[in-house]
Amino acid sequence: MISKKVDSVQDALKGVQNGMTFMLGGFGLCGIPENSIAELVRLGVKDLTCISNNAGVDDFGLGLLLQKHQIKKMISSYVGENDEFERQMLSGELEVELMPQGTLAERCRAAQAGIPAFFTPAGYGTEVGEGKESRMFNGKMHILEHAFDADFAFIKAWKGDEAGNIIFKGTARNFNPNMCGAARTTVVEVEELVPAGTLDPNRIHIPGIFVQRIFQGERYEKRIEKLTVRKATS
Amino acid sequence: MSLSKEQIAQRIAKEVKDGYYVNLGIGIPTLVANFVRDDISVEFQSENGVLGMGPFPLEGEADPDVINAGKQTITTLPGASFFDSALSFGMIRGQHVDLTILGAMEVADNGDIANWKIPGKMVKGMGGAMDLVASAENIIVAMMHTNKAGESKLLTECTLPLTGVRCVKKIVTNLAVLEVTDKGFLLLERAPGVSVEEIKEATAGRLVIPDEVPEMKL
């Protein structure tokens, strides 16, 4: 067994530097690497490019890095729900590249899978397709999109073992599996880290080969962005 | 009487057929789930990674790890599954989802749609909308016929940045059901008590009016 276990978030984030490009898992506040984000805030690294579907809310998730002006550029598909983000974007302090959600996911997956580029119909004929190579397949126009190139991927999983094998829960899965192995270093934090041999190999979502460092996360807040409930009678 | 948002959803629900996998956008489309007949089998897909979405959870039972694409807490029904974002959009791009219902700011009479950006005002991003409209075979737009200023949202050409080109097939508004054809918006049905004249007045794009335009049945 090749161990990927590190003992702390500090060890897990060794090598993180100003100006780097990061991938961060999560959809909204669901399945975000809370511990890694907190450590990035503490380290104070700046001029970061962050690839993440969303940008958190004002006081949680990537919003914490935005507050400290650590992010130079965001690459996302949807960035509503964050006033500080909007302010920085409109004032030009923050560079923003928006792209279709499926394109964002596939650019991660392509990086993970060694595919340099791919054609997708999403965004053809819109400003997303401007300046990009386009080509017709099966009577339909597609645009060429490239794999991402990132230094670190920060992943949140539910359970993991020392070998770096991981399992996700619910919709907290989202972009996390697609970002594993899609950056030069993949750092995974889990709610429960167990010895190798504990998890059933049939249940593994992402094998440890895609993971360089795994650590036991702490104090998960798992904030709910839009709590929506129904009455028992309905 | 023009339709309420609930009634638009109610009319669209009639387009949902037995055995369909359906993706519902945010806003009026979300309401469609409430009106689907319970004697047919339908599964709702949410592009953040769930198929087989159920109702909102009971108070105290919300799981922060189980949400929909609108970031609301949800439940799952028997037969549900979770998956990653790449697989989710593979499902969409690969045309495994039978019906996509989404809102719009503008629709052109050639099927172009704009629903993600108002330059200088609203820049939230497209989310999954561009993937959905570029791929789905069957797209229904749910929207009000006119905007808050009373201007038509059914145009000859969209003025806002496009989400997709020549992709919308059908539109259900508070006034009418329309189909996008080569000759423009074909008026299929009118809301109860709404005249063809009123629809004509509220439609800026090319409108094709058949001899008979039945009232919609809800």
Note whether B130 contacts A128, CB cutoff 8 Å: yes
Q: How confident is the model at residue A99 (pLDDT cuts 50, 70, 90)?
A: very high
Q: What is the mean pLDDT of chain A?
A: 96
Domains of chain B: 5-208 (3.40.1080.10)
The answer to whether position A35 is within a domain reads yes
CA distance B1 to B9: 16
- The reported pLDDT for the residue numbered B46 is 96
Q: To 5 degrees, how large is the angle CA A60–CA A61–CA A64? A: 65
Answer yes or no: are the C-beta atoms of A187 and A12 closer than 8 Å.
yes
Shortest distance between the Cα of B108 and any Cα of chain A, in A, equals 14
Summarize the confidence of residues B61-70 as an average pLDDT: 96
Q: What percent of chain A has pLDDT over 70?
A: 99
Taking the CA atoms of A14, A18, A22 and A27 in sequence, report the sign of the dihedral they define: positive
- The reported pLDDT for the residue numbered A82 is 85
B1 pLDDT more than 90: no
- The reported pLDDT for the residue numbered A232 is 81
Q: How confident is the model at residue A1 (pLDDT cuts 50, 70, 90)?
A: very high
Dihedral-angle region of residue A65 (phi above 0 means left; psi in -120 to 50 means alpha; beta otherwise): alpha
Q: Which chain A residue is nearest to residue B50, measuring alpha carbons?
A: A171
A71-76/A95-98 β-pairing: parallel
Q: Name every residue whose Cβ is closer than 8 Å to that of residue B7 and which is 6 or more positions away in sequence.
A: B174, B191, B218
pLDDT per residue as tens digits for the range B30-58: 999 999 999 999 999 999 999 999 999 99
Q: What percent of chain A has pLDDT over 90?
A: 94
The answer to whether position A2 is within a domain reads no
Answer whether A29 touches B (CB < 8 Å): yes
The answer to whether position A224 is within a domain reads no
- The reported pLDDT for the residue numbered B190 is 98
- The reported pLDDT for the residue numbered A45 is 98
Taking contacts as CB-CB distances below 8 angstroms, the residues of chain B near A136 are none
- The reported pLDDT for the residue numbered B28 is 92
Note whether A109 contacts B161, CB cutoff 8 Å: no
Q: Name every residue whose Cβ is closer than 8 Å to that of residue A143 and which is 6 or more positions away in sequence.
A: A119, A120, A121, A122, A123, A124, A128, A129, A132, A133, A134
Q: Name every residue whose Cβ is closer than 8 Å to that of residue A95 and which is 6 or more positions away in sequence.
A: A72, A73, A74
pLDDT per residue as tens digits for the range B186-214: 999 999 999 999 999 999 999 999 999 99
The answer to whether position A3 is within a domain reads no
CA distance A204 to A160: 9
The answer to whether position A187 is within a domain reads yes
Q: Which chain B residue is nearest to residue A80, measuring alpha carbons?
A: B124
At residue B113, the 3 state secondary structure works out as: strand
The answer to whether position A222 is within a domain reads no
- The reported pLDDT for the residue numbered B204 is 98
The answer to whether position A125 is within a domain reads no
Q: To 5 degrees, how large is the angle CA A52–CA A54–CA A59? A: 110
At residue A67, the 3 state secondary structure works out as: helix
Q: To 5 degrees, how large is the angle CA B140–CA B146–CA B150? A: 175
The answer to whether position A128 is within a domain reads no
Q: How confident is the model at residue A90 (pLDDT cuts 50, 70, 90)?
A: confident
Answer whether B1 touches A (CB < 8 Å): no
B218 pLDDT more than 60: yes
Q: How confident is the model at residue A83 (pLDDT cuts 50, 70, 90)?
A: confident
Domain span at A15? 9-118+147-216
CA distance B13 to B31: 9
Answer whether B156 touches A (CB < 8 Å): no
Total of domains in chain A: 1
- The reported pLDDT for the residue numbered B213 is 97
The CATH number of the domain holding residue A151 is 3.40.1080.10
CA distance A154 to A159: 15
Answer whether A100 touches B (CB < 8 Å): yes
Note whether B73 contacts A228, CB cutoff 8 Å: yes
B102 pLDDT more than 80: yes
Answer whether B84 touches A (CB < 8 Å): yes
Among the listed residues B43, B47, B106, B189, the single catalytic one is: B47
Note whether A126 contacts B164, CB cutoff 8 Å: yes
Q: Is the complex ipTM higher than 0.95?
A: yes
B47 is a catalytic site residue: yes
Summarize the confidence of residues B2-27 as an average pLDDT: 96
Note whether A124 contacts B134, CB cutoff 8 Å: yes
Taking contacts as CB-CB distances below 8 angstroms, the residues of chain B near A178 are 84-86
Taking contacts as CB-CB distances below 8 angstroms, the residues of chain B near A171 are 46, 48-50, 65-68, 82
Number of Cβ within 10 Å of residue A21's Cβ equals: 19
For chain B, the distance separating the N- and C-terminal CA atoms, rounded to the nearest angstrom, is 13
pLDDT per residue as tens digits for the range A174-230: 999 999 999 999 999 999 999 999 999 999 999 999 999 999 999 999 999 999 999
Answer yes or no: are the C-beta atoms of B23 and B101 closer than 8 Å.
yes
A234 pLDDT more than 70: no
- The reported pLDDT for the residue numbered B66 is 98
| In chain A, residues 192-221 whose CB comes closer than 8 Å to chain B | none
A24 pLDDT more than 70: yes
Number of alpha helices (DSSP H) and beta strands (DSSP E) in chain B: 5, 15
A121 pLDDT more than 90: yes
Q: Using CB atoms within 10 Å of the CB of residue B27, give its burial: 0 to 12 exposed, 13 to 18 middle, 19+ buried.
A: middle
Tokens of A7: 């003992």
- The reported pLDDT for the residue numbered B85 is 98
- The reported pLDDT for the residue numbered A119 is 98
Tokens of A190: 């889990």
pTM recorded for the entire structure:
0.96
Bridge-partner residues for A143, per DSSP? A120, A134
CA distance B88 to B161: 25
Q: Quick one: DSSP state of residue B3? A: P
Q: What percent of chain B has pLDDT over 90?
A: 94
Specify the higher pLDDT residue, B47 or A233: B47
